[in-house]
Chain A
Amino acid sequence: MSSSVTTAELYPAPPDGAVAGLPRLLAGVHEQCALTLTEHLSVHGQLPLVGGGGRSRSRSRAAKLFEEVEGSGLCGCGGGGFPTATKLRSVAGARGRPVVVVNAVEAEPPSSKDRTLLELAPHLVLDGAVLAAEALRADEAIVAVGEHAGASAASVYAAIEERTGRGEYGRIGLTLVSVGGGYVTGQESALIAGLEGREALPTFTPPLPFERGLRRRPTLVNNAETLAHLALIGRLGARWYRGLGTSAHPGSALVTLSGPVAYPGVYEIEAGASLCSLIDAAGGTTTGVRGVLTGGYAGSWAPAAAIDELELSRDRLAAAGGAFGAGIVLLLSSETCPVAETARLARWLAGQSARQCGPCMFGLDAIAEAISGIAAGAREQASDRRLQTLAALTAGRGACAHPDGAVRVIASALRAFAADFEDHRRAGPCELCASADELPLPLRAAGHSGARP
């Protein structure tokens, strides 16, 4: 059955005044205050639930939901970009009563889209979690937030309270859990470890969470934004969802834009929108721009010359050598030195290693050391060949993808700012090296204790 046929039969027309174009996820939100359940329902309409009414009926409703999700092309919005329908079906096919985890840890410093979404539209994310839980015959969903969740945690807490005692939503137990830890906490296996009360560090897999995750149950771990999209697809169907976006990255996407623009912040864009249109929406640039980082600290740098050509979707950014990741777009101003910033980033990424895996621990340290030497124009410098060797010895050899992402983003900086690196190799620090730091690289009070000292 093709999804374009089933859509019109299965899903009601959008309620009046609802989302025909943009915004979708952020429809109806007001500044700095969450939509109440009543407001949320008046914007988006009732959630067509898939549970209840006998096992075979709820099974077939779940199967139809999975078809719609597959037809929509929805992929994970936390950075991995994994097809959501495949994940849902994997959990549905595993043994045991599943559990749903909403990953809202958002440990990437230049990202705030999940916190913004939860702060302004918590019920849409909870709807997605409830819908997924019902389709999987799970009885609970856990919203996992990071230690810097702030107002978003309060908003989720209040939204869960609002639903208590509301029969149509009451079947799925909703809880909010705060998970402490650094950059790698967002990795699925680390998140599950954190939720189980262990230190939130990646584990060696298999089994993958969908087979045996939280408390050894099959576990659906989805990013908060992914579940909000799911809540809209559950209401309006795949054909509606594909009314925006590219064929490989349909729909809308939340993007965190930072750097020298008049209004940095979280924007909901049509997937595939040009970077220029996003910058325009943010009031334009306020200084010159040296480069742009897409996909965050596991993503990719491009030089300023590429800005006019970049389009913001998974497929188009990948084709241009960039990364969509978790929707992070960071502009580096012309008032800072890209070499010095890369050296800082390399040190920070080395510090974020959980220090569980030798190649990650030693490799990222060695890379950071080498980049610092180049930035300082040191007498003894790592050659480009040596940097390539270190990259090859580091990427792909950890239990999680942290070393891979770190190597990727640093290698992209070496390419995007090649002339600057060459200048620093020869002449040492430039006049901009001492300027104020731009990349957000927060220090944590307590670092990973890790498996080793």
Chain B
Amino acid sequence: MSHRVEVNPITCEAHGICAELLPERVSLDEWGYPIVDGRPLHGSELEHARRAARACPTLALIVARERARSRAS
């Protein structure tokens, strides 16, 4: 089962902690919002990603299973 990182863009308030804890998957745009690499997480990355998700003050970082979420039409 593959996992990947996602962001809930509504709850995200650009604290930027995810980019510090998971720099291999998250960079910040010029306004401080995360740009995530949504490809499957490998090996130890999964644990790092979960730690980053737990540390997000608004719980906007999500470690999701399987396919990426689809959006409202």
Show the binding face of A for B, using Cβ within 8 Å.
Answer: 76, 80, 82, 187-190, 202-206, 208-209, 356-360, 362-363, 393, 397-401, 451
Instruction: Report A177 CB to chain B, min CB distance, Å.
Output: 19
Could you give 12 example pairs across A and B, Cβ below 8 Å? A76-B73, A82-B73, A187-B72, A203-B10, A204-B8, A204-B11, A206-B69, A357-B9, A363-B31, A393-B29, A393-B30, A399-B72
Across the two chains, which residue of chain A brings its CB closest to B73? A80
Instruction: Report B40 CB to chain A, min CB distance, Å.
Output: 19
CB < 8 Å neighbour of B72 from A188, A359, A363: A188
Answer whether residue B14 sits at the interface, using C-beta atoms and an 8 A cutoff.
yes
Number of A-B contacts (CB under 8 A): 64
Complex CA gap A399/B6 in Å reads: 12
Complex CA gap A188/B73 in Å reads: 6
Tell me whether A202 and B33 are in contact (CB under 8 A). no
Complex CA gap A283/B24 in Å reads: 60
Cβ of B72: which chain A residues have Cβ within 8 Å of it? 187-190, 202-203, 205, 208-209, 399-401
Across the two chains, which residue of chain B brings its CB closest to A390? B30
Answer whether residue B71 sits at the interface, using C-beta atoms and an 8 A cutoff.
yes
Complex CA gap A399/B9 in Å reads: 6
Cβ of B31: which chain A residues have Cβ within 8 Å of it? 358-359, 362-363
Answer whether residue B12 sits at the interface, using C-beta atoms and an 8 A cutoff.
yes
Instruction: Report A390 CB to chain B, min CB distance, Å.
Output: 9
Tell me whether B29 and A204 are in contact (CB under 8 A). no
Tell me whether A358 and B73 are in contact (CB under 8 A). no
Cβ of B44: which chain A residues have Cβ within 8 Å of it? none
Across the two chains, which residue of chain B brings its CB closest to A192? B72
Instruction: Report A325 CB to chain B, min CB distance, Å.
Output: 12
Tell me whether A205 and B70 are in contact (CB under 8 A). yes
Tell me whether B11 and A358 are in contact (CB under 8 A). no
Chain B window 6-20, contacts with chain A (Cβ cutoff 8 Å), 1 for yes, 0 for no: 001111111000000
Cβ of A208: which chain B residues have Cβ within 8 Å of it? 70, 72
